[in-house]
Amino acid sequence: MPVNATETPNLSLLRFGAPIKSGAAPSLASATYKSRLLQLFETLNAGWTGYHGHPWVPAYSAVLADVAGLHSLRLAVLDPPGSILLESSFEGDQAAHLESLRTALGPLLDVVFCNAEAYAGTRDRTGDQFAAWVSSLQPGAALGAAAATAAELTCLAPSVGSAASVASPDAFAFAVHSAADLERLSNLYVSDDDRTILRRAARCLLATLPAQLEAKANDADQAVKDRFAEVIAWFQGTAPASEPIVCPAMAGASAAGSSNIQVNGKKLVMQVLTDIEDNYSNSGYLDRMAGSFGRIYLGLDRTDPNYALQSSASNRAIGTITEQDAFAQAINATRDALRAPGASFDIKDISDKVLAALCTYWFDIPDGNSVISSGSVLPFPPARCPGHFAPPSGYIFQPEPGWAMKLVGELDGRILRSHVADFVAAQRRAGIPPNGVLSKALFAAFPKSPDDDDLLTRTLIGVMIGFLPTVQGNLVAAMAAWKGAMLDSMRHDFLSHPEKDIYERASQVIRGPLMAAMQQAPVPPAVWRTAVKAHDLGDNPIVHVKPGDRLFVNIDSATREDLGKNIADVSPVFGGDRSLNPHPTHACPGFWMGMGVLLGIIAGTLEAAPTLAPMTASRASAVF
Crossing angle (nearest 10°) for helices 591-608 and 450-482:
40
Binding to ligand HEM by residue 272, rule CB under 6 A? no
Shortest spacing between CB 576 and ligand HEM, in angstroms: 7
Nearer to ligand HEM, 387 or 469 (CB): 469
Stretch of residues binding ligand HEM (CB under 6 A), selected from 43-51, 479-487, 588-596, 616-624:
588-596
Binding to ligand HEM by residue 574, rule CB under 6 A? yes
Beta carbons within 8 Å of 580's beta carbon, 6+ residues apart: none
Per-residue binding string, ligand HEM, 315-344, x by CB under 6 A, is: x--x--------------------------
Binding to ligand HEM by residue 586, rule CB under 6 A? yes
Q: Round to whole Å and give the CA distance between 19 and 81.
A: 8
Measure the CA dihedral 500/505/506/507, to 10°.
140
Shortest spacing between CB 536 and ligand HEM, in angstroms: 22
* Secondary structure in 3-state letters for 471-508: HHHHHHHHHHHHCCHHHHHHHHHHHHCCCCCHHHHHHH
Nearer to ligand HEM, 84 or 269 (CB): 269
Binding to ligand HEM by residue 575, rule CB under 6 A? yes
Binding to ligand HEM by residue 266, rule CB under 6 A? no
Q: Round to whole Å and give the CA distance between 555 and 551.
A: 12
Stretch of residues binding ligand HEM (CB under 6 A), selected from 128-136, 152-160, 218-226, 465-473:
465-473
Q: Round to whole Å and give the CA distance between 173 and 398.
A: 20
Beta carbons within 8 Å of 546's beta carbon, 6+ residues apart: 258, 259, 531, 534
Stretch of residues binding ligand HEM (CB under 6 A), selected from 22-30, 89-97, 464-472, 497-505:
464-472
DSSP H or E segment with residue 33: helix 33-49
- 8 A C-beta contact, residue 181 and residue 188: no
Q: Round to whole Å and give the CA distance between 272 and 537.
A: 9
Stretch of residues binding ligand HEM (CB under 6 A), selected from 20-28, 89-97, 231-239, 583-591:
583-591
593, 615, 620, 623: residue in contact with ligand HEM (rule CB under 6 A): 593
Q: Round to whole Å and give the CA distance between 197 and 182.
A: 11
Nearer to ligand HEM, 206 or 599 (CB): 599
Binding to ligand HEM by residue 463, rule CB under 6 A? yes
43, 281, 311, 370: residue in contact with ligand HEM (rule CB under 6 A): 311
Stretch of residues binding ligand HEM (CB under 6 A), selected from 90-98, 198-206, 372-380, 462-470:
462-470
Binding to ligand HEM by residue 623, rule CB under 6 A? no
| Span 358-397, contacts to ligand HEM by CB under 6 A | none
Crossing angle (nearest 10°) for helices 502-509 and 323-339:
100
| Residue count, binding to ligand HEM (CB under 6 A) | 22
- 8 A C-beta contact, residue 173 and residue 376: yes
Question: Where do contacts with ligand HEM occur on this chain (CB under 6 A)?
Answer: 297-298, 311, 315, 318, 463, 466-467, 470-471, 474, 524, 527, 573-575, 586, 588-590, 593-594
